[in-house]
Chain A
Amino acid sequence: MGGSGGGAAVAPPQNIMDIFVQQVVSGLATGGIYASLALALVMIYQATDVVNFAQGEMAMFSTYLCWSLLQAGLPYWVAFVATLVIAFVGGLLIERIVIRPVENAPILTIVIVTLGLVFILNSVAGWVYSYIQKPFPSPFPSKPIKIGQIVLGAHDLGAIGVTLVVLLLLFLFFRYTTLGLAMRAAAQNPASSRLCGIRVGWMLALGWGLAATFGGVAGMMIAPNVFLDPNMMTGIQIYAFAAATVGGFTSPFGAVVGGFIVGVTENLVGTYVSFIGTELKLTVALAMIIIVLLVKPSGLFGRSIVRRV
């Protein structure tokens, strides 16, 4: 998906090794995007045991907001940061207004609510912005970067960089700040967290806010490759599910590694297995989900849940 967009403008590479490296790099670029979205899924899953099916649509909506800000004449990085702030507040509000009232309902109810969000966000975006595809700018130069014989898309490299910075910030936040620690505690043991004075409800809302923020990063980084349209995240969400499943839904680190694995695998299989090409790429993600669930249901880095009865 991302690879084909980045690779199209580039002169055909010379030898087998160069093709391979190029495909790996563009796989890493899309993989980083899957990783961000997968991480958002895992964060919400860990805190509330809910798989947020609307994660992709939230990301799509954020990307449209960024587009509006750019149309209004804001410089790219200003619009980028402003979008992340809006996405954060939006995610927070969605938790408070939509998820909170069904907090204690059965899981299935909450899952249906997130599915409802998918359709609401999708149709509102279609209504406001129409379903016609729009080009979305990349903040990085369009000129490819040449290293020896290898030609790499500048946007691909930039997207990898942005993803890594975001992941690093997140890691530092959870590892070293008291608020990050409190969020982890609230996800693990809500009753005990309350006894420590932690406002658990707000921690969950913060989790949704952060998840929406990562989704926003993913959306803005993938949009230059896939064009902006209300359905742009549908496929990517499935890759993110694959990434989270491969890495393990209980492991944020696993989700990130899973994202890169899925991105690279998808690209390499699309390149080297001729009958798959671009049309059947999405099937690769689904196949990965099924294989992981059959062989190691808890994922590569996930904890299998043992309950004492």
Chain B
Amino acid sequence: MPALLEAENLEAQYGWTKVLHGLGFAVETGGITAILGANGAGKTTTLRAVCGMVKTAGTVRFQGQRIDGKATEDIVRLGIAHAPEGRGTFMHLSVEENLRLGAYVRRDRVAIAADFERVYQYFPVLVQRRRQQAGTLSGGEQQMLAVARALMSRPRLLLLDEPSLGLAPLVTREIFRIVRTINKEEGVSVLLVEQNASMALELADHAYLLETGRVVMSGPSADLQRDDSIRRSYLGY
């Protein structure tokens, strides 16, 4: 069975500066893939490249279909949801309006109503904050809102950009736990970008290590966890 998402020779640039130099990676259907690396390795750009938010070269396939060169809003409509860097919160809109926007591309009103209940079950804290301006939420709550908003589109693939950034370890752990549940119970595949390698490797089944825009190592998470150089440079023991 072909991979759900497959990138080959992926390049990306901002202006004249090339940031990705021919990446190849895949996310299996129902799998969780992690992209690891230090600051500036090109992790965020990789997700942006998948969503057509930067100028790219190379090929990206989703469910076998080429999506490179498509507009972001068209890629999203195919079933890819992106909880972006900085969380992409609509600060001046209410929590509920943020979630409504997540379901913008859908027309099935009844199912959308059911999905509100579903994401509120995953993130009960959002229920109390329903009518509140999203800008008043804490960092952890905004991250939960970003994941919840992404889920509202009923995606087949969820892109998560550093969900741990700026959050207390306990909150991060909670978010990772929910991502695992979503993956297991709803079969949503996940492409996760993380600096926190140990947590990411625990969650993912497959991982890629990025250095200055190139894949320097890849394989099943268990293999990477055992690798000495990774342990020293990224896991810190």
Q: How far is the CB of B89 from chain A (nearest CB, A)?
A: 7
Complex CA distance for A99 and B53, rounded to whole angstroms: 22
With contacts A181-B97, A194-B73, A198-B73 known, is A189 near B104, CB below 8 A?
no
Q: Select one of A184, A188, A191, A198 contacting B104, CB under 8 A.
A: A198
Note all chain B residues with C-beta closer than 8 A to A198: 73, 101, 104
Interface bits A160-189 vs B (CB < 8 Å: 1, else 0): 000000000000000000100110110011
A197 engages B88 (CB within 8 Å): no
Residue B203 lies at the interface, judged by CB distance under 8 Å to chain A: no
B72 engages A194 (CB within 8 Å): yes
A197 engages B104 (CB within 8 Å): yes
A188 engages B88 (CB within 8 Å): no
With contacts A188-B92, A189-B90, A195-B51 known, is A181 near B100, CB below 8 A?
yes
B53 engages A191 (CB within 8 Å): yes
Q: How far is the CB of B3 from chain A (nearest CB, A)?
A: 22
With contacts A181-B97, A184-B93, A197-B153 known, is A192 near B84, CB below 8 A?
yes
Complex CA distance for A193 and B72, rounded to whole angstroms: 10
Residue B206 lies at the interface, judged by CB distance under 8 Å to chain A: no
Q: Select one of B71, B91, B92, B101 contacting A196, CB under 8 A.
A: B101
Interface size class of chain A, counting residues whose CB lies under 8 Å from the partner chain: 10 to 19
Residue B77 lies at the interface, judged by CB distance under 8 Å to chain A: yes
Note all chain B residues with C-beta closer than 8 A to A191: 53, 84, 88
Q: How far is the CB of B19 from chain A (nearest CB, A)?
A: 17
Interface size class of chain B, counting residues whose CB lies under 8 Å from the partner chain: 20 to 34
Complex CA distance for A188 and B89, rounded to whole angstroms: 10
A195 engages B100 (CB within 8 Å): no
Note all chain A residues with C-beta closer than 8 A to B73: 194, 197-200
B93 engages A188 (CB within 8 Å): yes
With contacts A181-B100, A182-B104, A185-B101 known, is A195 near B93, CB below 8 A?
no
A 197-244 contacts with B by CB, 8 A: 197-200
Q: How far is the CB of B188 from chain A (nearest CB, A)?
A: 16
A178 engages B100 (CB within 8 Å): yes
Note all chain A residues with C-beta closer than 8 A to B88: 189, 191-192, 195
Q: Select one of B84, B90, B153 contacting A185, CB under 8 A.
A: B90
Note all chain A residues with C-beta closer than 8 A to B82: 195
B105 engages A197 (CB within 8 Å): yes
Complex CA distance for A32 and B51, rounded to whole angstroms: 45
Note all chain B residues with C-beta closer than 8 A to A194: 53, 71-73, 76
Interface bits B31-42 vs A (CB < 8 Å: 1, else 0): 000000000000
Note all chain A residues with C-beta closer than 8 A to B84: 191-192, 195
Tell me the dominant secondary structure on chain B's binding face: loop
Note all chain A residues with C-beta closer than 8 A to B101: 181-182, 185, 193, 196, 198
Residue B213 lies at the interface, judged by CB distance under 8 Å to chain A: no
Residue B102 lies at the interface, judged by CB distance under 8 Å to chain A: yes
Complex CA distance for A178 and B102, rounded to whole angstroms: 11
Q: How far is the CB of B142 from chain A (nearest CB, A)?
A: 12
Complex CA distance for A196 and B72, rounded to whole angstroms: 9
Complex CA distance for A154 and B71, rounded to whole angstroms: 53
Residue B149 lies at the interface, judged by CB distance under 8 Å to chain A: yes
Complex CA distance for A195 and B92, rounded to whole angstroms: 17
Q: Which of A178, A193, A196 has the most CB of B within 10 A?
A: A196
Q: How far is the CB of A64 from chain B (nearest CB, A)?
A: 37
Complex CA distance for A135 and B149, rounded to whole angstroms: 54
Interface bits B64-105 vs A (CB < 8 Å: 1, else 0): 000000011100110001101000111111000100111011
B97 engages A197 (CB within 8 Å): no
Complex CA distance for A194 and B74, rounded to whole angstroms: 9
A196 engages B53 (CB within 8 Å): no
Q: Which of A178, A188, A189 has the most CB of B within 10 A?
A: A189
Note all chain B residues with C-beta closer than 8 A to A195: 51, 72, 76, 81-82, 84, 88
Note all chain A residues with C-beta closer than 8 A to B102: 196
Complex CA distance for A53 and B97, rounded to whole angstroms: 32
Note all chain A residues with C-beta closer than 8 A to B81: 195
Note all chain B residues with C-beta closer than 8 A to A196: 76, 101-102, 104-105, 149, 153
A192 engages B89 (CB within 8 Å): yes
Q: Which of A181, A185, A195 has the most CB of B within 10 A?
A: A195
Note all chain A residues with C-beta closer than 8 A to B93: 181, 184-185, 188
Can you spell out 15 A-B residue pairs with CB atoms less than 8 angstroms apart?
A181-B97, A181-B101, A188-B92, A189-B90, A189-B91, A191-B88, A193-B101, A195-B76, A195-B84, A196-B76, A196-B102, A196-B104, A196-B149, A196-B153, A197-B73
Closest 10 CB pairs of A and B: A192-B88, A197-B105, A194-B72, A197-B76, A196-B101, A196-B104, A195-B82, A197-B73, A194-B73, A197-B77
- Having A188-B90, A191-B53, A191-B88, one finds 16 other A-B pairs with CB under 8 Å, namely A181-B93, A182-B104, A184-B93, A185-B97, A189-B89, A189-B90, A191-B84, A192-B84, A193-B101, A194-B53, A194-B73, A194-B76, A195-B84, A196-B101, A196-B104, A197-B76
